[in-house]
Amino acid sequence: MKNYNLKTSSRVLLTSEQGDQVTEKCNITFRRESAEDNVIHIQPDILKQKISGIGSSFTEASAFVLAHLTPEERHEVMERIFSSRGANFSIARTHIASCDFCVEGHYGYAETEDDMALKSFSIAPDHDGFSVQAYSGIRDESYDLLPMIKQAQAIKAKQQDNDLRIVASAWTAPPWMKDNEKWHEPGTPENNFNGRGGVLKPECESVYADYLIKYLDAYKTEGVDIWGLTPVNEPGGNNGNWESMHFTPQTQNDFIKNHLGPKLKASQHGHVNLMFFDHNTGDLENWADAILADVETKQYVYGSAVHWYESTDKVFEEVFDRVHKKYPDYPIIHTEGCIDDLGNDAKAGILDPVAYKESGWFDNDEFWWNENATDWGYSAEWDSVIMEDHPIYTPVHRYARHVITGMNHWLSGWIDWNIVLDKRGGPNHVGNYCGAPIMIDTESGYVYYTPIFYILSQFSQTIRPGDRVVETNLNLKPELGGVLIASASISPEDKISVQVFNTGKEAIDYALQIGGQTADVNIPANALQTLVIQL
């Protein structure tokens, strides 16, 4: 263990229920001694995975909401998301053709049936905009998904730290490429609501690979280089509730090995990072065993992509550990998570719909900092096993716990879902309303930056691409187990960023130890504290 000469921290940031929003606090002072009780011990010489970034997502829904603002108002929002004076997000996700968070949904880039040569391919839906005649309140008819991405790029280009890595995922192939020839098939009571998304026709597997590469070509022509790609979003399906397409671990392995991998390698996009899975973490190991254990397939694969929807309180860190132990050279990136089922009608018999809506989540920080949220699994329709994994939860806690615990267990990047939505949590063409870090009243133009935005901002500002996670050990009083959590990373310039989260309703005193030096620290109740220390 190295003997560091620490004096004071260089920054201390705080976001809390008490109203702090990435607020600068007084620096801490180190002394040369070790601590024994309530210790967060950072070991900078034990390096773990490299960070690819913290960020959020571009969706048509987000662009649509932003199109309701004046250009000046929209620029301010985008600056706060992507510039160094704001969240400075360094990684983002977007959808290839339509997803549920599209205004009307159900659009592809090659809708001419049996167009095997993809002569009709066009990304026009991504930049056609929204007309004032069709949508009242629109201030900018030209604003759309692709202009939103370009605006983010322009903001990044003006600063030295201009890295923005974009991961693209398709929700489905065009219907004519699938066996059911539909965007999706919602379930019915007669089949126990078991809908489906369909699977690729065998004769269309190679065509779908071409379709994805044509998307990369078209975006590159527009000046947008895609950093990462997944074959499809949520291949395990969503009960046919919105655009989807199914793969099994073996069929996705075959698709990558026989079609997408070789075609991608032979194209101008051989540098694009291909990730498999892109669904809920609990099943990651099965997919990793099918794909990364295949020597022919793994040569085309960068890593895996995961979502958090399998539980509102579990991170499944044991799954991350097992997959990393088996396949240590393949990064794991969290590509989607949000407060889902937020703006939907409250579930009868569980929450009082009137009280739930009156308590509100829009412009109400208290909602986000306390145990108020439920998701799709918290329902009398589901059995006790599912409900056990989906208790009522605190939105801020879910985000902070997932980032901190995930980083400690080999996650290399973390991406939120829609960065901006309207005050209900849409638009969503199938009524799947969700929360977002920024929510906007499209009638008044009022912009609400939720506590989630500030939590993600604090992480993003202090955990940057190229940083390395370092070993963090906690020696806490038994009653603080799970109440106080922490992780740490180190930059190439030897700056340590320590993330500490207090989920409790009381302040906590703890000792921060780095090498043989210790600082006494107090973290307020219900707060994310970041301490930046120059080694």
pLDDT tens per residue across span 429-469: 999 999 999 999 999 999 999 999 999 999 999 999 999 99
Q: Distance between CA 39 and CA 476 in Å, rounded?
A: 6
Residue (of 225, 244, 243, 222) closest to 235 by Cα position: 244
Q: For residue 348, what pLDDT is reported?
A: 39
* Residue 86 one-letter amino acid: G
Count other Cβ atoms within 10 Å, centred on residue 381.
10
**517-523, strands of its sheet edge to edge:** 23-24, 11-16, 527-534, 495-502, 484-490, 468-475, 39-50, 508-514, 517-523
Domains of the chain plus CATH, in order, are: 11-49+468-534 (2.60.40.1180), 53-350+396-430+449-462 (3.20.20.80)
* Structure-model confidence comparison of residues 12 and 388, the more confident one: 12
| Statement: residue 192 has pLDDT above 70 | no
pLDDT tens per residue across span 215-270: 999 999 999 999 999 999 999 998 889 999 999 999 999 999 999 999 999 999 99
Q: What is the pTM of this model?
A: 0.96
Residue 290 phi/psi, 5-degree rounding, is -75, -35
Count other Cβ atoms within 10 Å, centred on residue 280.
17
Q: For residue 346, what pLDDT is reported?
A: 54
Q: For residue 111, what pLDDT is reported?
A: 94
| Statement: residue 358 has pLDDT above 70 | no
486's CB contacts (< 8 A; 6+ apart) are: 40, 404, 472, 474, 498, 499, 500, 501
pLDDT tens per residue across span 273-315: 999 999 999 999 999 999 999 999 999 999 999 999 999 999 9
Average pLDDT over all residues of the chain: 94
